[in-house]
Amino acid sequence: MKTEDKSFDFDLMAPAPQTEPERQYYFMAKLREKIFALEAIQKQPPTYFLETFGCQMNEKQSEVVAGILDEVGFVRTDSEEKADVVLFNTCTVRENANMKVYGRLGLIKHHKKSHPSKRIVLFGCMMQEQEEAERIRTQYPFVDLVFGTHNNYQFAELYYKMLERDAQLIEIWQEPRGIVEELPSERNYSFKAGVNIMYGCNNFCSYCIVPYVRGRERSREPAAILREVEKLSAEGVTEVMLLGQNVNSYGKTLPQKVSFAELMREVEKVEGIHRLRFMTSHPKDLSDELIAYLAESRKCCHHLHLPVQSGSSRVLKDMNRHYDKEQYLELVRKIREAVPDISLTSDIMVGYPGETEEDFQETMDVVRKAQYDTAFTFIYSRRAGTPAAKREDQIPEAVVQDRFDRLLALVQEVGRERSSRFTGTVQEVLVETESKEKGIFTGRTQYNLLAHFPASAQMLGKYVRVRLSECKGFYYLGELAE
């Protein structure tokens, strides 16, 4: 689903505008001329393959890149091998994300030998690391364009410059230079969308690379966010997810302070928006005001993702998380008291440097007491440039794997029990996709639980009542309710 865009009414012989986003629309117009000429030669429009690694913030950035490519005349394809342009939006939160990208580049190198005009583009968080960008420059010269997180909005301009020089272009800013929105966007769904409300992170958890690659917190003005939500609603979007590395600290960088709960109340007033979600919440900043809003809201889904990372107060202090086990569990108690049917999910890490078996058992205790519907469990990944990476007390791989297996088993056990509480109930479900089994569709409840049920394509994007008849752990089988 492509959003509306501005016209291409530019004098292309004149210098590029200096203001944004007008400058990027100028380069889109320049690119469009080139693509039309190429299409006349090839007798068909050029194609692109785009894959996103990582979080919802990356997904949102990829939508802008896709929107620009669509606007200038490219057509998206599922064939990485045959595409004229291959783009990877990279993630660097964990080392295996980097390894996936390098593995794919090895394959693409062979594709490019038989298709020399193929263009390779890398962008996103991994490219923001100087060591990785230098590795691309020296070891992967067949990659054509590299840019980072801070100048993502410059894609049209950078792609045009890359074509003009016909040589590798690497342009990475070490610091952000403002927020630029109002660019074309190709959304994955016509009926739901993410909206960035802030960028960056100020928390500097000892294991996390995000503040170094995404920069410090910058909040968007409420009026700009509301304009975007109103525009999305006019285009048929009924579910909006507000996005930020830590949405609970929204507004702290604005000249006139606005809390996240206040922003949510304003967004909820937008006509046509049926559901609100948000991601991600840091426990240290989750306010009583936000809990009260969750309890009273008519539109905000009763699902809260609240990463704990560890159940050990000692480890949490070392992680620089600014809360301890008792404070976290008290927060969970307050949330469940205010919103009894809340679906609570989390992120949990094992193998942090210095973690003992006693520390790990504290984490297991939190899982039992917090009663998560599900949790994303992962093994600590050593990220260069973070304080935790310098520690010598790294945990042996065999010990970490054993703890991970035990944690995952407990998370699944608790999750199955929690999720099954909806068995036999009728829930409102937003129909999102048709599964591989024809005639079976998938959607989400307000509690973020997946449901699979027989339906028809006419129901895509609609809210339907589904009886959840059989719990399969983290999803349900059901049927349409009369």
Q: What is the CATH number of the domain that holds 366?
A: 3.30.750.200
SS3 159: helix
Residue 476 lies in a domain: yes
DSSP 242: E
pLDDT the model gives residue 291: 97
pLDDT tens-digit profile of 324-371?
999 999 999 999 999 999 999 999 999 999 999 999 999 999 999 999
- Is the same domain home to 375 and 452? no
Taking Cα atoms as reference points, which of 219, 179, 230 lies closest to residue 20? 179
Model pLDDT for residues 225-284, shown as the tens digit of each residue: 999 999 999 999 999 999 999 999 999 999 998 999 999 999 999 999 999 999 999 999
Other residues' Cβ atoms within 10 Å of the Cβ of residue 478:
26
199 lies in some domain: yes
Q: Are residues 379 and 407 in the same domain?
A: yes
Residue 188 binned pLDDT confidence (cut-offs 50, 70, 90) = confident
**75 shares a domain with 112:** yes
Residue 413 and residue 439 in one domain: no
Of 248, 268, 301, the one marking the end of a domain is: 301
Residues 231 and 161 in one domain: no
Cα dihedral 358/360/363/367 (nearest 10): -110
153 and 217 co-located in one domain: no
| Rama region for 215: left / alpha / beta (φ>0; ψ in -120 to 50; rest) | left
pLDDT tens string 280-333? 999 999 999 999 999 999 999 999 999 999 999 999 999 999 999 999 999 999
The residue range of the domain holding 201 is 189-301
- Residue 97 confidence class, pLDDT cut points 50, 70, 90: confident
Rounded to the nearest integer, the mean pLDDT of the chain is 93
Between CA 49 and CA 38 the distance in angstroms is 18
At residue 2, the pLDDT reads: 56
Q: Are 374 and 411 in contact (CB under 8 A)?
A: yes
Query: Which pLDDT value is given to residue 143?
Result: 96
| CATH code of residue 297 | 3.30.750.210
Q: What is the CATH number of the domain that holds 470?
A: 2.40.50.140
CA–CA distance, 158 with 116 (Å, rounded to integer): 20
Residues, the chain: 482
Q: At residue 403, does pLDDT exceed 80?
A: yes
Domain boundary among 301, 328, 352: 301
pLDDT range class, residue 3, cuts 50, 70, 90: low
**What is the mean pLDDT of the segment spanning 62-83?**
94
Do 51 and 158 lie in one domain? The reply is yes
Pairing of strands 85-90, 119-124: parallel
Q: Is the peptide bond before 280 cis (omega within 30 degrees of 0)?
A: yes
- Looking at the structure, do residues 145 and 44 belong to the same domain, yes or no? yes
For residue 118, what is the domain's CATH number? 3.40.50.12160
CB neighbours (10 Å) of residue 218? 15
Number of independent structural domains in the chain: 4
Residue 179 falls inside a structural domain: no
Quote the pLDDT of residue 39: 83
Nearest to 12 by CA among 26, 32, 31, 28: 26
Helix segments in 79-234, DSSP class H:
95-114, 130-139, 155-165, 210-214, 222-234
Q: Is 39 part of any domain?
A: yes
Whether residue 338 is contained in a domain is answered as yes
If asked whether residues 158 and 198 sit together in one domain, one would say: no
Provide the phi-psi class of 421: left if phi over 0, else alpha when psi is between -120 and 50, else beta: alpha
Residues 193 and 269 in one domain: yes
Q: What is the pTM of this model?
A: 0.90
Residue 30 scores a pLDDT above 60:
yes
Q: Provide the pLDDT confidence category of residue 93 given band limits of 50, 70 and 90.
A: confident
Residue 76 domain flag: yes
Within a domain: 12: no
Q: Whole-angstrom distance between the N-terminal and C-terminal Cα of the chain? A: 31
Q: 197 and 240, same structural domain?
A: yes
Are 215 and 272 found together in one domain? yes
> Is residue 142 assigned to a domain?
yes
